[in-house]
Structure formats: structure tokens, C-alpha cells
Amino acid sequence: MKNPCDTSLLSKTFRMPRQVPRTILDKETVDEMIYNTKNPRNRLILELQARCGLRIGELLNIKAQDVSERKLTIKEPKSGKEAEVAFMPEQIAKRMGEYIKATNILPDDHVFPISYSTARMFIRKLGSKLNTSLSPHDLRRYSATYASRNGVPLEIVSKVILRHQDLKTTQIYLGKVSEHEAIRWMDILHGK
């Protein structure tokens, strides 16, 4: 029996949207953005997104009590769990602790008390200074791609950096592999 919904009219109407390939930022651009940002709060926001893979919403909901040495407890994450843990590199964790002390943030206070639109506008302005279109999620995408391209196993990128439930979701984040990069990895794996 033929499926009555399998008609050309319906398939055109309910076609799956095509994935638009995203341009992945390069390390030099991200480093330039971070190092040229003088405001400690804004620099931490950039670093936590680009180096730790945090979503902007998660980042803005972090309270001082959620910061413990090199771990961030993310309450009510997108996954629907009660909480998740994100990890920070040592130098970012040190700057985060110094920032919390210097600004006298109380344990129940948000570390970054700004709105989503303010953070988005700040990141977009940075991108325009560098002649690139930039959104907060581009920094998260960069974090995943940079880790993947530097040999971090896909499972670690997926479960630790991005905290995805499914590897397929992570693969969408990663930029396309260029021929040059494919050849470089073949040489690394099997010698020249």
C-alpha cells in the first residue's frame, strides 16, 4: 500500500531545512578578540565561551557559589538535567576567582549580571571590529572545532566541552575538514 503522504506536493511543503555551513573562527582571530578586550568581565565572558564551550545563557546564570576551583556548576542546563559541570583551564579559573573577589560578588549573586541582549551586542560589536559576523554561539562552535582539530577525542569534545547527549549533535558543530587538514592528520597518524 502506498503512503498517502508521499506526494511531491507534500514533500516540497514539508522539506527538511538544509544546514547552512558556518564559518569557523580561526585561533588568531579569537585570541586577538580576547587579548584586546580590556574589561575583565567581558574578557572572562569571551574566554569562558571560546575556551570552555559554555552557552551564553549558561554563562549569564552562573552565581559565585557555582564556581569551585576549576569547576563551574551549571544549574538548569539546556539538557534538562538538574545540574552539569563545566571545567575551566587553570589560568581562566584563577582570573575568575580574582574577578569575583575584586568585584565583591556575594555567593548568591550572578557573576555576570548582564542581559543576554547586552552580551550578544558586545560580541557582535567585537566581530564588526574584526570585519566578521559573530554571535555568542560562534565562540562555542570555535571551542569544539579547536579541540577536535588539536586531537581531542570526539567523545571528550561532545560529553565534556559541549556537554551534548548525542555525538551527532556535536558533529554538526564541527567545521568541515579541508584537504590540507586531512593530509596533515594522515601524516600525523601514519607518518610521512
Q: According to the model, what pLDDT value does residue 22 have?
A: 65
- HSE-up (13 A, CA, CB side) for residue 143: 27
pLDDT at 179: 77
Query: For the segment 54-95, what is each residue's pLDDT rounded down to a tens digit?
Result: 999 999 999 999 999 899 999 887 777 888 899 999 999 999
| pTM value > 0.75 | yes
CATH architecture for residues 23-190: Orthogonal Bundle (1.10)
C-alpha cell at 169: 549533535
Share of the chain above pLDDT 70, in %: 86
pLDDT tens profile 130-140: 888 888 989 98
Q: Is the pLDDT confidence value at 5 over 70?
A: no
What's the confidence (pLDDT) of residue 24? Answer: 77
For residue range 95-118, list pLDDT tens digits in order.
Answer: 999 999 999 999 999 999 999 999
Grade residue 10 by pLDDT with cuts at 50, 70 and 90.
low
Q: Where are the domains of the chain?
A: 23-190
C-alpha cell at 6: 508521499
The 8 Å CB, 24+ separation contacts for 158-162 are 160/87, 161/52, 161/53, 162/53
Q: Which residue has the higher pLDDT, 157 or 179?
A: 157
pLDDT of res. 112: 94
Confirm if 148 and 157 have CB atoms less than 8 A apart.
yes
